[in-house]
Amino acid sequence: MSDDAGTTALLVVDVQPDFLPGGRLAVEEGDLILPGIHRLMESDAFALQVATQDWHPPRHTSFASAHPGHEPFDVIQLHGHDQVLWPDHCVQGSPGAELLGDLPWTRVDAVIRKGTDPDVDSYSGFRNNWGPGGDRPPTGLTGYLRERGTRRVVVCGLARDYCVRWTAEDAAAAGFDTVLVWDLTRSVDPSGDEVLRGELEGAGVRIMNSETLEIAP
């Protein structure tokens, strides 16, 4: 990867306290990925670094609390598609929504805040989930990367089976050479990881582990 450092971007997905142990939507072992992500962020292997940040208004439509009679992890129909209902998490301005202070965010060139529309969920850093019009509006990240000459993206963060997955699949669909760093992600439901891996590869996402990346010290 080092030969392409000038055209490679690191995407750090949703590393926020609410997704870590003790948070409102904690991903098991999510804290174990932090040292590896720190190492990637501190390296000189990337021309750009971009973070995504879940940033929901109160009473967001993806929250179970916004749907009387429903519990977290129920699935409903929203704008014609399945919607998992989540515990309230990453509410704008709350401590759980902040980017985790232990990582070197000064090295990040841009932060994409997602989930800001109260009526539309957003997993991917590239496109929101389906809205009332049946489309998935772009966040602007594709254009941002293309205008800066990005050809490859390396994706890590939380959670592997939702926001990381959707971000990686959308990156590949947009034409970027996309690498998902498997050991620097964790899933909400790890029992589905084997199937998930196959689906990601089928979508054109390359799966690698951090030790196989050529990262400059």
> Can you give the pLDDT at residue 71?
97
Known catalytic residue at 4: no
Cis status, amide bond into 64, omega within 30 of 0: no
The tens digit of pLDDT for each residue in 60-83 reads 999 999 999 999 999 999 998 999
Identify the DSSP state of 82. E
- Decide if pLDDT at 32 tops 90: yes
Is residue 144 a part of any domain in this protein? yes
Identify the CATH number of the domain in which residue 205 sits: 3.40.50.850
State the chain's mean pLDDT as an integer.
94
Report yes or no on 114 lying in a domain: yes
Residue pointed to by tokens 């501190």: 42
Q: Is position 75 within any domain? A: no
Under the banding of pLDDT at 50, 70 and 90, the label for residue 215 is low
Nearest to 54 by CA among 10, 22, 9, 24: 24
Contact 120, 61 (CB under 8 A): yes
Q: Is the pLDDT of residue 194 over 70?
A: yes
For residue 17, tell me if it sits in a domain. yes
**Percentages helix, strand, coil for the chain, rounded to the nearest 5?**
30, 25, 45
Active-site residue (options: 14, 18, 121, 161): 14
Q: Does 71 map to a domain?
A: no
Q: What is the mean pLDDT of residues 181-188?
A: 98
pLDDT level of residue 1 (50, 70, 90 thresholds)? very low
- 2, pLDDT greater than 60: no
Question: Is 90 labeled as catalytic in the residue annotation?
Answer: no
Rounded mean pLDDT, 152-168: 97
Q: What is the pTM of this model?
A: 0.94
Residue 197 CB-half CA count within 13 A: 12
| Options 18, 161, 163, 177, the catalytic residue | 163
What length does the chain have? Answer: 217
Provide the 8-state DSSP code for 9.
Answer: E
Is residue 74, in this structure, part of any structural domain at all? no
Residue 20, in any domain of the structure: yes
Q: Please give the helix or strand (H or E) that residue 169 lies within, else none.
A: helix 165-173
Q: Which carries the bigger pLDDT value, residue 3 or residue 168?
A: 168
% of the chain with per-residue pLDDT over 90? 89
Q: Given 54, 88, 90, 114, which residue is catalytic?
A: 114
- Dmax over CA atoms of the chain, in Å, equals 54
* Domain that residue 125 falls in: 2-57+89-212
Domains in the chain: how many in total? 1
| Residue 63, in any domain of the structure | no
Q: Looking at residue 171, what DSSP letter applies?
A: H
Whether 163 is a known active-site residue: answer yes
Segment 3-23, tens digit of pLDDT = 466 799 999 999 999 999 999
Lowest mean pLDDT among 28-32, 78-82, 149-153: 78-82
Give the pLDDT of residue 110: 98
**Confidence (pLDDT) at 133:** 82
CA distance linking residue 157 with residue 101, whole number of Å: 15
